[in-house]
Amino acid sequence: MKLKGFLVASLLLSCLAATSQSITFSSLPRTIIVSASTTQQQVLKAGKDEIIVTWSLNTTLQDGTDMTYKTVKIKLCYAPISQKDRGWRKTVDNLAKDKTCQHKIVSKPYSPSNNTFTWTIKKDVPTATYFVRAYAYNSADEEVAFGQTAGSINLFEIQAISGRHFEFLTSRHMTPNQRGQYNPTCQEDFQLQFNYRVLKGGESTLTISWSLNATSSAGIDTSDYRTVEIKFCYAPISQKDRGWRKTVDELEKDKTCQHKIVERPYSPSNNTYTATIKKDVPSATYFVRLYVHNSHKEVVAFGDTTDAKKTTNLFEVVAVSGRSIGLDVASVCFSAFSIISLFGFFILEKRRAKNK
């Protein structure tokens, strides 16, 4: 019994010790002055624009304040407006669990002054509003101080890259359209170059080729690309006043691409698929989108056959009427039968009236 009590006590002490070692943001002194080259509400582009960060020790502090500082890590941090309703960006006082600053800019040996670093925004930084924070670490790699640019007038926005790691090498094979014309096979890198055409549901075919864009995907880890899924997507002109086709940034709620064309294992090149447009695809204006999924079935990249505003390389699908020849014949027969029946009942009623 004593041994059991001793073990329980030891376990509790261990837990308390582990808890006491957790470093909280609220316990850190703000001793570092940080500034960035960004301006209030400036919009920067991921993979293209640069941020110049400078930092130094606050000289108004007493000597020896920084005696334990060994390294400084500069990070990109989400502003509160970009954390709302996003638990994966949540601010937690326990720094081991905090998700405010997920994007590392640079790590450098500590120096009290004359520190500058120019950072090109990485391609994987998502669209959001940000500020910059610096953490000072001791020899045990524990946070001991911080500084930041944050304030209501020091926030800036980053726009993520379009995600077009994929390059569509596309062609279309089409049956004669309503104008009585035939469109020959067209093939253009990442574009659908052809005159405006109308495709028929249940009849026309579409040949799509896709491959990894080696230029825009440089520096991006594609090792976890597992599958690709290609879909028909509604163009903005066919989404207007139609909430059931609404574009939502959160993919689980997005209704832009509702019609699956094909799903295939990922391959970086030489991918082609020819699909007959299904009969249940409604009449609308469309473009084609490809999503890349990782091993967790999460979307990690995409490619479109249209531009960012979704105004070019669009095509129209005309849905099948749903009426076959047999149905038309049956409809005529039933209509004729109903007329004859009505006429027969009319004559019968007249005869009954005369008999009375």
Domain boundary among 135, 159, 183: 159
Is 259 in the same domain as 138? no
- Phi, then psi, of 109 in degrees rounded to 5: -60, 145
Exposed / middle / buried, residue 100 (Cβ in 10 Å: 0-12, 13-18, 19+): buried
Statement to judge: residues 137 and 178 lie in one domain: no
Instruction: Determine, yes or no, domain membership for 181.
Output: yes
Residue 15 lies in a domain: no
Whether 218 is in a domain gets the answer: yes
184 and 295 in a single domain? The answer is: yes
Q: Is residue 106 one of the residues assigned to a domain?
A: yes
Residue 227 backbone phi and psi in degrees, to 5: -135, 160
Query: What is d(CA 344, CA 356) in angstroms, rounded to the nearest whole number?
Result: 19
Would you place residue 19 in the very low, low, confident or very high pLDDT band (cuts 50, 70, 90)? Answer: very low
pLDDT digits (tens, 9 = 90+) for 148-205: 997 767 899 998 765 444 444 443 333 333 323 323 332 332 333 333 467 888 888 8
pLDDT score for 54: 97
325 — pLDDT class (breaks 50, 70, 90): low
Same domain, 206 and 259: yes
Q: Give 190's contacts (C-beta < 8 A, 6+ positions apart).
A: 164, 167, 168, 169, 170, 213, 303, 305
- Same domain (yes/no): 200, 64: no
Q: Evaluate whether residue 3 is within a structural domain.
A: no
- The CATH number of the domain where 86 resides is what? 2.60.40.1930
CA distance 165 to 300: 10
DSSP assigned state of 269: S
| One domain for residues 104 and 139 | yes
> How is residue 349 written in tokens?
């009623």
Count the domains in the chain: 2
Domain that holds residue 33: 25-159
Task: Check whether residue 260 and residue 155 sit in a common domain.
Answer: no
- On whether both 151 and 171 belong to a single domain, the answer is no
Q: How many CB atoms lie within 10 A of CB 218?
A: 10
pLDDT, one tens digit per residue, over 303-314 is 888 888 888 888
Same-domain status, 112 and 244: no
User: Same structural domain for residues 149 and 206?
Assistant: no
Residue 17 lies in a domain: no
CA–CA separation, 265 vs 316, rounded Å? 28
d(CA 168, CA 312): 14
Residue 66 included in any domain:
yes
Structure tokens belonging to residue 99 = 């998700």
Q: Are residues 148 and 173 in the same domain?
A: no
N-term to C-term CA, the chain: 110
C-beta of residue 206 within 8 angstroms of C-beta of residue 173: yes
Supply the mean pLDDT for the chain: 81
What pLDDT is stored for residue 115 in this prediction? 96
In a domain? residue 33: yes
Residues 299, 234, single domain; the answer is yes
